[in-house]
Amino acid sequence: MQVTASAHRVHLFSPSSSPALSLPSAKHCRCRYRNAAATTVRMGLREDGPSVAVVGVTGAVGQEFLRVLSDRDFPYRNIRLLASRRSAGKRLTFEDREYTIEELRPESFEGIDIALFSAGGSISKEFGPVAVERGSIVVDNSSAFRMVPEVPLVIPEVNPGAMAHINLKGRSGKGALIANPNCSTIICLMAATPLHRHAKVVRMVVSTYQAASGAGAAAMEELLQQTHEVLDGKQPTCKIFKQQYAFNLFSHNAAVLSNGYNEEEMKLVKETRKIWNDMDVKVTATCIRVPVMRAHAESVNLQFEKPLDEDTARRILEGAAGVTVIDDRIQSLSYALGCHPDVRMHYLHVSNKDDVAVDDRQDLPQDGNQGLDIFVCGDQIRKGAALNAIQIAEKLL
């Protein structure tokens, strides 16, 4: 499998029919977006839809933006595909129409209603305000504006109210910024929030198992390339990460701050407080990269203000939008009957899926049923990034 970048090709990180192959697609597609999941073509192109721009369309999240827009039949009057100068001029087919990728410029946002950004923090900082000035509502996947007090930080299932004052029809000249939370925050809070609403989380200890995709398409390629190299007895090529990633794990590559925590860990702390509008919730996070492709997992220990037993918690989670509960006990029965012990939950279940999967257990040592120990998995590119952003965009319609 060739994993190096090619100047004239766009790498698709597409869903695969085989769970074994939830890897970047081996089939390089010549500047053509294909909806691998759908057999019937859905067309969101409609005169009454908004004018949409995708910024960073050649990246892993950019590609997923297109896939999710198509999967969800998102309405659009027209769509503008924007990227760096390097990718400008390439052609890309989306929903049976061919588009030319354009170089991102200030004037790219003329007439654009909704701009989906995923091209890194510095591009967002430079072009986000430009787009807003020109009347676009920017849904930004970077960390650039997340902690700006007046910018809503939104998970639609969790705090839709934070963006209630922003919509397409209510605009008067200027646009607005809405920030997409960090992937690990989204995945954690999708499971923790329904429980928080019921019993109020006072303390949350999170340990993450984070995929390559969080560092972008090139990091996924690096993991693949290194794995080939290590199996072949060669020294692994380290470009994105400073150390070997194949068959290794390491503390998240974000900058370490003076308090000993890295920026990724502090995002979980600060974003949770902002999204829950609760400055008192105690959050501790340890963020670790593990050699998997595109789904994050998180071990989350919760302490509540009020009692919450495991059965009630399960019913709450089963009723929560965007959450799938995986129940072990049924699987453990197969073991009791002498079969091979089954797995409680594993990460490939959630690759390329919209829902976040969760398993919950009473935290036995916590007195008075005031603790739960949950394990959450979610697709980093999908719910952790592109899907959440497009769900935000849907609320603007």
Query: Which of 257, 311, 315, 318 touches a second copy (CB under 8 A)?
Result: 257
CB of 147 vs a second copy, minimal distance in Å: 17
Residue 198 burial (C-beta neighbours within 10 Å; 0-12, 13-18, 19+): middle
Is there binding between residue 84 and a second copy (CB under 8 A)? no
Q: What is the CB-side half-sphere exposure of residue 210 using CA atoms within 13 A?
A: 28
243 touches a second copy (CB under 8 A): yes
378 binds a second copy (CB under 8 A): no
- To which H or E segment does residue 269 belong? helix 263-276
Residue type, 229: E
Q: Encoding tokens for residue 328?
A: 């072990």
Q: Which is nearer to a second copy, 7 or 330 (CB)?
A: 330
187 forms part of the interface with a second copy (CB under 8 A): no
Question: How far apart, in whole angstroms, are the C-alpha atoms of residue 82 and residue 100?
Answer: 9
Half-sphere exposure of 3 (CA within 13 A, CB side): 18
Mark the segment that binds a second copy (CB under 8 A) among 48-56, 118-126, 128-136, 236-244.
236-244
Binding-site size for a second copy (CB under 8 A) equals: 79
121: CB partners within 8 A, 6+ apart: 142, 143, 144
**Count of C-beta atoms within a 10 Å radius of residue 239:** 11
- State the binding string over 121-160 for a second copy (x if CB under 8 A, else -): ----------------------------------------
Amino acid at 165: H
Nearer to a second copy, 147 or 288 (CB): 288
Mutual angle of helices 183-199 and 310-318, in 10-degree steps? 120
Residue type for position 213: S
- Nearer to a second copy by Cβ, of 167 and 243: the residue is 243
3-state class of 87 per DSSP?
coil
With CB under 8 A as the contact rule, the residue among 37, 43, 231, 321 that binds a second copy is 231
Residue given tokens 């071990």 in the structure block: 299
**Judged by CB, which is closer to a second copy: 234, or 306?**
234
Kindly identify the residues of this chain, within the stretch 18-77, that bind a second copy according to CB under 8 A: 18-23, 26
Helix (H, G, I), strand (E, B) or coil at 86: coil
Residue 79 or 377: the one with the smaller Cβ distance to a second copy is: 377
Q: Is residue 1 at the binding interface for a second copy, with CB under 8 A as the rule?
A: yes
Q: Which is nearer to a second copy, 148 or 257 (CB)?
A: 257
One of 78, 227, 312, 324 touching a second copy (CB under 8 A): 227
Q: What is the DSSP code (8-state) at residue 342?
A: P
Q: Pattern of binders to a second copy over 326-355, x per CB under 8 A?
A: --xx-xx--x----xxxxxxxxx-------
Contact region for a second copy (CB under 8 A) — 36-44, 132-140, 286-294, 387-395? 286-294
**Residue 85 engages a second copy in binding (rule: CB under 8 A):** no
- Which one of 78, 310, 312, 397 is in contact with a second copy (CB under 8 A)? 310
* Interface with a second copy (CB under 8 A), residue from 233, 279, 338, 368: 233
Angle of helix 387-396 relative to helix 60-71, nearest 10 degrees, comes to 50
Q: Annotated catalytic sites, by residue?
A: 183, 296
Of 149, 170, 365, 368, which lies in the binding site for a second copy, with binding defined by CB under 8 A? 365
Which 158-177 positions form the footprint of a second copy (CB under 8 A)? none
In angstroms and rounded to an integer, the radius of gyration of the C-alpha atoms of the chain is 21
Q: Contacting a second copy (CB under 8 A), which of 34, 250, 324, 397?
A: 250
Q: Which of 34, 129, 362, 397 contacts a second copy by CB under 8 A?
A: 362
Q: How many CB atoms lie within 10 A of CB 175?
A: 23
H/E run at residue 221: helix 217-231
Report the alpha-carbon distance of residue 80 to residue 190 in Å, rounded. 31
